Amino acid sequence: MITEILIIDDNADIRSILNELISEEGYKTRLAANFNQALIEIDKKLPDVAIIDVKLDKGDNDGIELLNHIKKKNKDIPVIVISGHANIEMAIKSLKSGAFEFIQKPFDKERLMNFIKRAVENYSLKSENKNLQNKLFHTYEIIGKSQNITSVREQILKLSSSESRILITGPTGSGKELIARKIHKNSKRNHGPFIIINGALLDTNKYELELFGEEKKDGSILYGALEKSSKGILLIDEVTEIPLETQSKILRIIVDQKFKRLNGNHDIKVDVRIICSTSKDIKKEIKNGNFREDLFHRLNVFNISLDPLSKRIEDIPLLANYFLKNICKNYNFKPFEIKDNNYLMNYTWPGNVRELRNLVERVAILSQKGDENKIVSIIKESLSKNENDNFSVEDTLSVPLREARENFEKEYLTTQLNKFGGNISKTAKFVGMERSALHRKLKQLGVKDFN
């Protein structure tokens, strides 16, 4: 695919020189002679790289305004700023606004072409990484046959066509982002952006900056997640981590459908569908005063709840081989399967589906020939390092023999029940007990939630 470069300069001679220079290197070019023409070209189709003169026909620094306009649409697009009235202040302002490079007129042709080549390489690398990331989510499906996953798939189909707000709950690594992406893919907003803001990863002083953006004293604008996700979907991950003061502002946005940027005086109308997710017990957070109950009711129009992987053990073999098939395809490995699932089925999976996928990738890389003994060895070694259950040697040695045995039996039988979907007959056959004897044992151990 030919790289396209947009040249924006009000000087016809400069446009001509740049056009000839860049075309000779095999790049496709588009030209704009003034601010309005540039806006039309940018809005018609974003270039791969833009070269912008700082001062056009609209006023001082209108090139910086175009730079901000491009960055609002796609922050990864490299913009090279050129100026015939350059000074250090102008260069710093351009770079702070996100310019890839700043070059002064009259420019050295070889130096400019080096900037352009590096910009093209930079954008290609970012695009490739983004495509791989999108491929990961858009090609991966919601895999499983458990009741929980079956229900989740049905909810996705029903809710994708609506505009309702959704709260996705489930432990870390269970697949909440994947569900949000599937909803976006199947929705009427699928041509719009999908933006993620993670409440757990932000500096506590930057929540509102990241959400609402900022109008700076120099007239430039830093766009926040709400504007970046216009016409699309905004996923607020780990929403319970957002401070109460900011929560009240989010509530107001939901009610009024508008907000102000930091240091801004004008209302910005917002057209965005909000999906939130959390790995915490949100009702407990409300009870503890950490989350607004009124905001909860606004966000929780529909709830999609994901069980931890340990509660849907029947999904593990399906997930493992599905991941393995995709990973082998991506790495161009000869396809193979994991046939012995005993270690996978009996592990507690504190990292959930994400941990399983990481393990499968390790298996794929380290046992490319699909040797079964090698596969089992890798799985066994990996899981023994990660094991973090409640039955460590230290814990076991600190209780009487009878209690230690009961703890083990309870954990063992609960795991086997989960593996067979709560089916008593299948579990009894596997563990070598009569059905009636297993019933008595489960009752004795206090295991009540089984079918």
Instruction: Provide the β-strand partners of residue 128.
Output: none
Contact yes or no for 219/261 (Cβ under 8 A): no
Closest CA to 49 of 37, 34, 67, 72: 67
Residue keyed to tokens 């240091």: 263
Contact yes or no for 32/4 (Cβ under 8 A): no
CA torsion through residues 29, 31, 35, 39, sign: negative
Strands 268-269, 302-305: pairing kind: unpaired
Q: In the CATH hierarchy, which top-level class contains the domain 4-133? A: alpha beta
Tell the CATH topology of 148-307.
Answer: Rossmann fold (3.40.50)
Domain definitions of the chain by residue range: 4-133, 148-307, 314-338+351-386, 393-445
Strands 273-278, 268-269: pairing kind: unpaired
CATH of region 393-445: 1.10.10.60
Closest CA to 381 of 348, 324, 349, 343: 343
Q: What token pair was written down for 23? A: 């075309």
> How would you classify residue 191: left for phi > 0, otherwise alpha for psi between -120 and 50, otherwise beta?
alpha
Q: What is the pLDDT of residues 390-427, one digit of tens each?
A: 344 444 444 555 666 677 777 778 777 877 777 888 88
Instruction: Output the pTM of the full model.
Output: 0.60
Q: Which amino acid is at 343?
A: Y
The domain 314-338+351-386 is placed in CATH, from the list 1.10.357, 3.30.1360, 1.10.8, 1.10.260, at 1.10.8
Q: Is the pLDDT of residue 150 over 70?
A: yes
HSE-CB of 157 using CA atoms within 13 angstroms:
8
Whether 148-307 and 4-133 are alike in CATH topology: the answer is: yes
SS3 letters for 192-221?
A: CCEEEEECCCCCCCCHHHHHHCEECCCCCE
Q: What is the pLDDT of residues 23-66, one digit of tens each?
A: 998 899 999 999 999 988 988 888 999 999 888 887 666 888 89
Q: Where are the alpha helices (DSSP H) in 147-292?
A: 147-160, 176-186, 207-212, 225-228, 244-256, 282-287
How far is Cα 421 from Cα 431, in angstroms, rounded to an integer?
15
The per-residue pLDDT for 147 is 95
Q: What is the pLDDT of residues 64-119, one digit of tens each?
A: 889 988 988 888 889 999 887 766 777 777 888 888 888 888 888 888 888 888 88
